[in-house]
A and B are shown apart, each in its own frame.
Chain A
Amino acid sequence: MGLREYIIRRLLLLIPIMFGVVILIFAVLQFVDPIQRVTLYLRNPRQFAPEVINRYIHIYGLDQPVWVQFYNWLVSIFEGNFGFSAYYKEMVLPGLLARVPATLEIVIFAAPLIILVGIWLGVESAVRKDKAFDQVTRIFSILGTSLPSFFFGVILSAIFIAQLKWVSAGRLTPTLSTELSLLKSSHHWTTYTGLLTVDSLLHLRLDIFVDALKHLALPVLVLVFIQTAVLVRVTRSSMLEALSKTYITAAKAKGLTNNEVIYKHARRNALIPVVTISGLLVGGMMTGLIITETVFLFPGIGQWAATAAQNFDVSVVVVYAMFSAAVFVLANLIVDVLYAYIDPRIRLG
């Protein structure tokens, strides 16, 4: 089986899984009775008399058999209608899409840092096993997995935001953020990407760029600290295993330098299992984002969904869950394809 067929087969497998995800969400929604579910379609259900509500239940088919309801629900999803948020007073899909760039901005800065720092620390501490460097790295990695991200985040925000006032919470300093909304409403600001760091450079506004970077620092720091810890652990043990293989002895016997043996022979092979856990890292990132955005009041999708969940705003949480599942499943697919590309044994076997 070639790589192309492998990719096609995996892509086809996505369909039943996403269908299953949709069924699961629909099944969960059955816990909520029709009157409450009508609120997913009505702007302000409390304004309506019971007879009107009943009529709406009828109009939206919530009194029909489950499979008919499922079909209707599926159709509305394909039409892009995920309902209305009673808490935010907006349609949920545009609401989600408007907040994706903020989250993406954290990811863009955090992900490369996690990968680079995690792999570097893991490899170096395996090479210097049981030396001081290794001990410090291991303690750091155990701390990183034991320290809850919300605790770390709250402490950082108490020190740097509230006590020292180095930055404010959110995405921008309040004065700049007011200026930005004024610019937007007077059409002097075009949203090219939604990423403040990129858009500010395109508008040659260095002050906004620097301010946005400052506000990204704390959320990125929390994410990197927690997620790197996981990566370091896996890289270290995988590197240790690679270093004990016979091809390493052979490479040394050939007379290669230490660096050549470590970085050309051992590290390449050690990174294969590291690729497989990147799927886990994506999941960790997504949950980590909910926490960090909530702690630092960063207006991304994680904070959006968490606040909605606190207020039992089901339509927001449902669309967020489907979005996350899609991203997570796709990320895992990419990881698997990458894995098959690096390690031919996977697709041939």
Chain B
Amino acid sequence: MTSAKQTGNFRKRIQPTIKEARFMLSRLFKSPLSVAGLVLISYNIILAVFAPVIAPNTSGVRQYDQYMIPRDQSLGFWIQPSPPTSGHILGTTSMQVDLFYGCVWGTRFAFQLGLEVIVSTLTIGLILGMISGYYGGFIDEVIMRFTDIILAFPGLILAMVFVAVLGKAGWSTLQAAIFSIILIGWPGYTRLIRGEVLRVRGEDYVEAARAAGASDLRIMARHILPNSIYSVIIVASLDFGSIVLTAAALSFLGLGSPPGYADWGRLIFDGVPFSGSGLTYWWTFVYPGIFIVLFTLGWNLLGDALRDVLDPLSRRK
């Protein structure tokens, strides 16, 4: 058994996959809406990665947490926001907190939060979904009924309960918010992976591995996981937008990050009192909102396009 022969086989085996990927990509780049989505996502990624360069801390005050927006002390501690100037191109909000820094670092925060949540929910979903689908029977029943219970609540409401209870128990609301978003997120992936595992479980190569004496763990890790994970990863990555939106909604309700944190939802929450004087202080709530919309719009556009491309019924026409 030579390695050259193996690579040859490997090439032949993944040939259809490459062809499929090329076809999908060409379809994606042909639709203007999905290109717009990709552009928006790249723009957000650039903002997030280069946040320290784009919006450096110029206040001269050392920060203990990069996401705590530095205050311009030359402007004092006025509650009243100051309008956009050359020094603060998006203006400042309550207590002279710089909005440009907040919005740019808010992008970085959105990605960090989204990644944390997706990695955790996917890990939980993968483990439970595989156990559920592979072993079936009683354990499957228990896990599925548990997902039923979590799914019996509209997501944001359950998250609200967790934040209130954990907050009462002394957690910081931000920790509590991330924890609760993870908690409401895993049942969806668990079910999805379970379905995929059920589909793959009966395949010949799994039977073959079992006949060859492979252990359950090996079958799950080497044969079932690689064949059931892709669709779930795609679904999960498209959930980025909605996860960030849920987190922003929690922050908007005052159930997320602390005051002065680089989080779009929190910035809008801080801008709400100023919306009471009409459009006088419009920048305090309009700018953070625009950043959220550009983020979720990107993911929704790409998600829409991907769904069209991946759906075999609607594609080759």
Q: What residues of chain A have their CB less than 8 Å away from a CB belonging to chain B?
A: 16-18, 20-21, 23-25, 28-29, 31-33, 36, 138, 142-143, 145-151, 154-155, 157-159, 162-164, 237, 240-241, 244, 282-284, 286-287, 290-291, 294-295, 305-306, 308-310, 312-314, 317-318, 320-321, 324-325, 328-329
Contact = CB atoms under 8 A, between A and B. Distances in A.
A283 B166 contact: no
**What are the 4 A-B residue pairs with the smallest beta carbon separation, nearest first?**
A163-B278, A151-B289, A20-B149, A283-B154
Contacts of A241: 313-314
Contact of A290 (B168, B253, B279): B253
Contacts of A320: 157
A334 B265 CA distance: 35
B39 interface: no
Nearest to A287: B156
B291 to A, nearest CB: 10
B11 to A, nearest CB: 37
Contacts of B150: 24
Contact of B304 (A16, A142, A164, A244): A142
B152 interface: yes
24 contacts: A17-B148, A20-B146, A24-B149, A31-B169, A32-B169, A36-B168, A142-B300, A146-B293, A147-B296, A150-B265, A154-B275, A157-B275, A163-B279, A240-B314, A286-B157, A290-B156, A291-B253, A308-B164, A309-B164, A309-B253, A314-B164, A317-B161, A321-B153, A324-B153
B285 to A, nearest CB: 5
B248 interface: yes
Nearest to A165: B278
A87 to B, nearest CB: 11
Nearest to A229: B300
Contacts of B155: 283, 287
A255 to B, nearest CB: 26
B184 to A, nearest CB: 11
A294 B275 CA distance: 14
- Tell me what chain B mostly uses at the interface: helix, strand, loop, or mixed: helix
Contacts of B167: 312
- Tell me what chain A mostly uses at the interface: helix, strand, loop, or mixed: helix
Contact of B279 (A151, A158, A284, A305): A158
Given A138-B33, A162-B277, A309-B161, 12 more contacts: A20-B146, A23-B149, A32-B165, A36-B168, A154-B271, A158-B279, A287-B156, A290-B253, A291-B249, A295-B272, A312-B167, A325-B153
Contacts of A24: 149-150
B253 A294 contact: yes
Contact of A286 (B145, B154, B253, B289): B154
Nearest to A33: B169
Contacts of B252: 148, 150, 291
B289 A148 contact: yes
B149 A36 contact: no
B165 A158 contact: no
B285 A146 contact: no
B77 interface: no
B149, B161, B285 interface centre (most CB from chain A within 10 Å): B161
Nearest to B311: A237
B285 A328 contact: no
A133 B186 CA distance: 38
Nearest to A305: B160
Contacts of A284: 154
Contacts of A308: 164
B152 A309 contact: no
A317 B278 contact: no
B279 A154 contact: no
Given A32-B169, A154-B272, A286-B154, A306 B286 contact: no
A190 to B, nearest CB: 33
A151 B292 contact: yes
A228 B255 CA distance: 27
B249 A148 contact: yes
B155, B160, B167, B293 interface centre (most CB from chain A within 10 Å): B160
Interface in B245-261: 245, 248-249, 252-255
Interface string B131-172: 000000000000001101110111111101111111111000
B254 A162 contact: no
B27 to A, nearest CB: 15
A287 B166 contact: no
A141 to B, nearest CB: 9
B99 interface: no
A291 B245 CA distance: 12
A295 B254 CA distance: 12
A23 B150 CA distance: 11
A142 B301 contact: yes
A276 B20 CA distance: 31
Nearest to A313: B164
Contacts of B292: 148, 151
